[in-house]
């Protein structure tokens, strides 16, 4: 029935994610539904009157279920459309607020800013921000844009900037407007009218947002711009004028498919085997797919030819369902079992647990082979879904390890390059510069990342040998040498394959040294108590106190080193 077709068509439109994009089609569909209900109610009333005249009983038709079904979908769609309209309005309202704030800022610059350089800088900030703000409500667009354009003109005429800078900006604006005109001309080659309409709107906004140009060029530039704008509008209007002829062509194509479908359905009484039924099914399904590729026809005729085509298809598949009733039950059970396997595979396809997941999918593949065949109708799709889920995982796994290996090789080449630079590096006479360069080499080497496992020890040893050779040549003395060499040692350890273990060992060694020094200090302090107050004893006491102070200094130095070791 036509009402079911209208409901199905509304269901398809209501599922569109962009409710605003199908608004015209939904409104047209509602008009068609209202017309249909009115006509059916009129027919029902006429039939009731005729029955009354003839003295017959007549039970009027109940159109409420149909209306409820249609308007349930229609109201759902309207709610979704309202949400999207509200969301768009909220965005446009926020954009309007931003543009008004920018206009107020521009007014302040024009009225209050006396420093030309600062005024021009602020203008650029405002103008860049203006271009990034999205659409606003259509009823406010011209007003806001005109106010902004007027303020731009006031700004450029009020600001007494240097002539050279002004001429540069005027030429740049001229070039930008030429670019807009070029893009307008390019719209002649854009196939999608919706893309053309959207691009035209964007380019018009862009044109309005560009500042003034040289007065001598303005009239010609403006004339060329409007000439291209009118040309694009003419093309858009021509498209909708030609749409009617396209609708008629689509209707003719659908009638051809209708005739082919009728011929296929007419052979169903001769289909006494599964093979013949399947061949006829393939032909009919191919016609259905072809039907989907054809656009809409005129509204009334399009619905009529669709109803005929669908009636032929329904009749064919009803007969086929009866024929396949018994064998299909078996196929369905197998299909359910395979679908459960597919669901498990789909749940695993995005996993990054490569080893465990691969084993599970292999087991599912083995299980698939034992389930059986789900029939020609279902088997191919089920296998395609299952294979797709498996392929998604294994392709991702392959890509992951390929990219990982490739990155490790890239890191290896980078570290080899750094080592080569270290080996050819010549120490400058300036020690600070030399230390800075050596640290930069170390930082670059560490930042290069991990290398293949087979190369990590060799590349680290090669690096350590090269960098240690340079540190050994530096003429450092005393505390400076000790500090620099320790820092260099820590940086070198950070580059080793097992930096965490190396740092932990270094900390343990230093703590052990501190503990030994503390024990020595304790022994020295105990010895002080045995010295008597005499000239010879005083000399010994001073020697021991010197050793205690030296141990304290060593402990402080070791503590400083301990703090320099990274917490890995």
What are the residue ranges spanned by the domains of the chain? 1-161, 249-328, 329-405, 499-568
Over the chain, what is the mean pLDDT? 77
> In this model, does residue 535 exceed pLDDT 60?
no
Burial class (CB in 10 A: 0-12, 13-18, 19+), 152: buried
Q: How far apart are CA 14 and CA 16, in angstroms?
A: 5
Q: How far apart are CA 562 and CA 22, in angstroms?
A: 70
Residue 162's pLDDT is 47
Alpha helices in 133-162 (DSSP H): 138-158
Residue 491's pLDDT is 61
* Span 408-426, pLDDT tens digits: 788 778 878 888 887 888 8
User: What residues have CB less than 8 Å from 101, skipping those under 6 apart?
Assistant: none
Q: How far apart are CA 8 and CA 73, in angstroms?
A: 10
DSSP secondary structure of 171-205? HHHHHHHHHHHHHHHHGGG---HHHHHHHHHHHHH
* Span 43-67, pLDDT tens digits: 888 888 888 888 888 888 888 888 8
User: What residues have CB less than 8 Å from 564, skipping those under 6 apart?
Assistant: 486, 487, 490
Of the two residues 362 and 85, the one the predictor is more confident about is: 362
* Span 487-529, pLDDT tens digits: 556 666 655 666 677 667 777 777 787 777 777 777 777 766 6
Tokens 């979704």 locate to: 80
pTM of the model: 0.27
Of the two residues 202 and 551, the one the predictor is more confident about is: 202
Q: How far apart are CA 7 and CA 10, in angstroms?
A: 5
Contact in structure between 66 and 4 (CB atoms under 8 Å): no
Contact in structure between 422 and 463 (CB atoms under 8 Å): yes
> In this model, does residue 316 exceed pLDDT 80?
no
Contact in structure between 296 and 245 (CB atoms under 8 Å): no
User: What residues have CB less than 8 Å from 211, skipping those under 6 apart?
Assistant: 127, 152, 156, 169, 170, 173
> In this model, does residue 484 exceed pLDDT 60?
no
What is the 8-class DSSP label of residue 403? H
Confidence class of residue 293 from pLDDT cuts 50, 70 and 90? confident
For residue 82, count other CB atoms closer than 10 A to its CB: 11
Token pair for residue 351?
A: 């996993």
Q: How far apart are CA 46 and CA 384, in angstroms?
A: 55
Residue 332's pLDDT is 78
Percent of the chain with pLDDT over 70: 83
> In this model, does residue 485 exceed pLDDT 60?
no
In order of 146, 424, 432, 495, the CA distances from 474 in angstroms are 71, 16, 10, 21
Q: How far apart are CA 423 and CA 112, in angstroms?
A: 63
Window from 142-151, 205-214, 261-270, 480-489 with minimum mean pLDDT: 480-489
Tokens 């999205």 locate to: 134
Q: How far apart are CA 98 and CA 88, in angstroms?
A: 15
Q: How far is CA 220 from the centre of its chain?
A: 43
Q: How far apart are CA 309 and CA 262, in angstroms?
A: 8
Contact in structure between 489 and 472 (CB atoms under 8 Å): no
User: What residues have CB less than 8 Å from 531, skipping those under 6 apart?
Assistant: 537, 538, 540, 541, 544
Residue 427's pLDDT is 83
Confidence class of residue 533 from pLDDT cuts 50, 70 and 90? low
* Span 428-463, pLDDT tens digits: 888 778 778 777 877 787 777 777 877 777 877 787
Average pLDDT over residues 204-208: 85
Tokens 């035209």 locate to: 200
Residue 2's pLDDT is 67
> In this model, does residue 159 exceed pLDDT 70?
no
Q: How far apart are CA 456 and CA 465, in angstroms?
A: 14
Burial class (CB in 10 A: 0-12, 13-18, 19+), 327: exposed
Contact in structure between 20 and 88 (CB atoms under 8 Å): yes
Q: How far is CA 398 from the centre of its chain?
A: 23
Contact in structure between 7 and 74 (CB atoms under 8 Å): no
The three-class DSSP label of residue 272 is: coil
Contact in structure between 519 and 489 (CB atoms under 8 Å): no
> In this model, does residue 536 exceed pLDDT 70?
no
Contact in structure between 476 and 484 (CB atoms under 8 Å): yes
Q: How far apart are CA 439 and CA 245, in angstroms?
A: 76
Sign of CA dihedral 145, 148, 153, 156: negative
Q: How far apart are CA 16 and CA 492, in angstroms?
A: 60
For residue 38, count other CB atoms closer than 10 A to its CB: 10
- Angle at Cα 338 formed by Cα 332 and Cα 342, nearest 5°? 135
Q: How far is CA 567 from the centre of its chain?
A: 37
Q: 474 φ, ψ to 5°?
A: -70, 135
> In this model, does residue 218 exceed pLDDT 80?
yes
Confidence class of residue 385 from pLDDT cuts 50, 70 and 90? confident
Residue 384's pLDDT is 85
Average pLDDT over residues 18-42: 81
Cα distance between the two ends of the chain:
75
């Amino acid at each position: 029935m036509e009402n079911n077709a209208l409901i199905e068509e509304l269901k398809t439109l209501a599922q569109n994610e962009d409710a605003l994009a199908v608004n015209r089609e939904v409104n047209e569909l509602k008009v068609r539904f209202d017309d249909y209900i009115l006509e059916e109610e009129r027919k029902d009333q006429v039939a009731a009157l005729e029955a009354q005249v003839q003295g017959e009983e007549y039970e009027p038709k109940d159109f409420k279920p149909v209306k409820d079904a249609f308007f349930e979908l229609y109201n759902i769609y309207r709610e979704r459309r309202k949400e999207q309209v509200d969301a768009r309005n909220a965005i446009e309202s926020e954009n309007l607020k931003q543009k008004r704030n920018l206009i107020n800022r521009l007014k302040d610059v024009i009225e209050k800013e006396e420093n030309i350089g600062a005024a021009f800088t602020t203008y650029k900030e405002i103008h860049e921000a203006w271009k990034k703000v999205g659409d606003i409500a259509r009823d406010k667009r011209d007003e806001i844009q005109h106010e902004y354009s007027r303020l731009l003109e006031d700004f450029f005429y009020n600001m007494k900037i240097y002539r050279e800078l002004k001429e540069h900006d005027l030429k740049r604006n001229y070039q930008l407007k030429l670019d807009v005109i070029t893009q307008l001309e390019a719209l002649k080659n854009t196939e999608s009218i919706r893309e053309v309409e959207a691009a035209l709107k964007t380019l018009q906004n862009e044109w309005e947002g560009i500042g003034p140009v040289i007065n001598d060029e303005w009239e010609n530039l403006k004339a060329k711009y409007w000439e291209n704008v009118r040309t694009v509008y003419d093309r858009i209007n021509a498209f909708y004028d030609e749409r009617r002829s396209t609708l008629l062509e689509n209707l003719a194509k659908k009638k051809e498919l209708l005739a082919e479908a009728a011929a296929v359905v007419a052979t169903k009484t001769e289909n006494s085997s599964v093979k013949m039924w399947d061949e006829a099914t393939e032909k009919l399904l191919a016609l259905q797919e072809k039907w989907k590729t054809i656009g809409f026809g005129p509204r009334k005729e399009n619905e009529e030819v669709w109803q005929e085509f669908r009636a032929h298809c329904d009749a064919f598949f009803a007969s086929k369902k009866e024929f396949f009733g018994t064998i299909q039950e078996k196929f369905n059970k197998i299909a359910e079992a395979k679908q459960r396997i597919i669901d498990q595979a789909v749940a695993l396809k995005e996993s990054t647990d490569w080893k465990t997941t691969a084993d599970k999918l292999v087991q599912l593949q083995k299980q698939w082979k034992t389930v059986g065949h789900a029939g020609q109708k279902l088997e191919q799709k089920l296998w395609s879904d299952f294979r797709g889920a498996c392929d998604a995982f294994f392709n991702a796994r392959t890509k992951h390890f390929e990219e990982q290996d490739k990155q490790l090789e890239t890191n290896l080449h980078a570290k080899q390059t750094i080592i080569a630079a270290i080996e050819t590096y010549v120490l400058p006479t300036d020690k600070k510069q030399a230390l800075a360069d050596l640290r930069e080499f170390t930082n670059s080497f560490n930042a290069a990342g991990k290398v293949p496992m087979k190369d990590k020890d060799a590349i680290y040893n090669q690096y350590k040998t090269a960098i240690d050779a340079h540190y050994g040549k530096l003429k450092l003395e005393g505390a400076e040498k000790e500090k620099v060499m320790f820092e260099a040692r820590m940086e070198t350890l950070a580059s080793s394959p097992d930096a965490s273990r190396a740092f932990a060992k270094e900390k343990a060694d230093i703590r052990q040294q501190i503990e030994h020094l503390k024990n020595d200090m304790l022994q020295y302090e105990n010895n002080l108590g045995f010295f008597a107050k005499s000239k010879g004893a005083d000399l010994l006491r001073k020697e021991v106190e010197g050793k205690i102070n030296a141990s304290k200094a060593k402990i402080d130095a070791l503590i400083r080193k301990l703090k320099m070791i990274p917490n890995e």
